[in-house]
Structures are given as structure tokens and as C-alpha cells.
Amino acid sequence: MISTERLVIRPFQEGDFRDIHEYMSAPEIYIFERGKPLTLEETKKFCDDFVGKTGPGFWATTLKENKKLIGQVSFFPDGPEFLKTWQIGFIFNPVYQNKGYCSEAALAVIRYAFQKLGIHRIVAYCSPGNIPSWKVLEKCGMKREGYLRKNFTVRKDKNDRPIWLDSYAYAILDEDFR
């Protein structure tokens, strides 16, 4: 568990699926994410796949004041272990966006990774059109390192061909964070 002033970041628990469904069923979540709005059953399966798991994966982000799950942070190794590079991402309930929660959660995971896990580099990717996401990354001290052309797809066209999107590449080093 990671605790901040307003949040607790923890493994998923049984029963979290109701709060997760509030945002994973919202069409606006999938503008820049793969997939489609989840049914309640699909949300239960998603949640069950991560219940009780620690380490790499998806972490639930909850409000301290009432334990309400408001989003998730993903955190995975990015490449071979010896490179000590991990990738961070996040999805938050639209109701709780623009309140600083995502930045607070992402920064807490970044701090934890550098201080407790001995990670060297954390990377993130987002669509140039996803302004709130790249603003969160920059608020966390991440630097834009590149512009990747058509490296990502979230959906297909009417002929079942992938629609390719561009991405910004961000990173922060342990020495930047210190």
C-alpha cells in the first residue's frame, strides 16, 4: 500500500468491481484506451484477475476519507529486468478528474518506485490529443523525450484495419527525481 495526503493506492479487493464499473463502462474512457465500455460481468472478471495481487500490474486508487475507488494506476516492467525501467499509466473516473488525484497517485507511485524498488527509469506514453494525461506526466516531473509516429492503436476501421495513432514518449530518471 502507498498512502498520500488524500489517497490510498493498494491492490484490488473483492467488491471493487462496482466502483471500477462506474468508469470502465464510460465511453469517454476509451477515446485514448484500447477496448470498449465494459459490462458489469466484464468488470467483475477484470477485477477478479487482479484481486490481491501485489507488484507489477494495476493498483486501485481510493480516497482516504471514504475508501471510494476512483481510478487505477498501472505499473509494469518495460524491457529486461537489468534495465530497471518501468512503465506507468492511469485511468481515473471522469467524476474525479481535474481534482489533482491522478497527479497525486502517479507521483506517489513514482516516488515509491525510486525510493523502495531501486528503479532507474520510468516511462509513459500518451496521445498528443490526450492533454490531461500529458499534463499529469509533466506535473510529475516527467520529460517529453519523443514523438512516436503511428505506434499505437485503440480501435479498427469499418474494414477491420487498425487505426494507428501517434504518441508522446515521456520519462523520468531516478537522478531527476532526487
16-66: pLDDT as tens digits: 999 999 999 999 998 888 889 999 999 998 888 878 666 667 899 999 999
Share of the chain above pLDDT 70, in %: 97
CATH no. for residue 156? Answer: 3.40.630.30
- CA torsion sign for 17, 23, 27, 29 is negative
Which three cell numbers mark 149?
A: 509516429
Per-residue pLDDT at 56? 67
Dump pLDDT digits (tens) for 95-111. Answer: 999 999 999 999 999 99
Number of structural domains found in the chain: 1
Task: Flag whether the pTM goes above 0.75.
Answer: yes
Burial 80-106 (b: 16+ CB within 10 A, else e): eeeebbbbbbbbbbeebbeeebbbbbb
pLDDT of 93 above 80? yes
Q: Which residues contact 140 (CB under 8 A, 6 or more apart)?
A: 103, 106, 107, 110, 172
Per the structure, the complete domain to which residue 146 belongs is given by: 2-177
Q: Categorize the per-residue pLDDT at 155 as very low, low, confident or very high, splitting at 50, 70 and 90.
A: confident
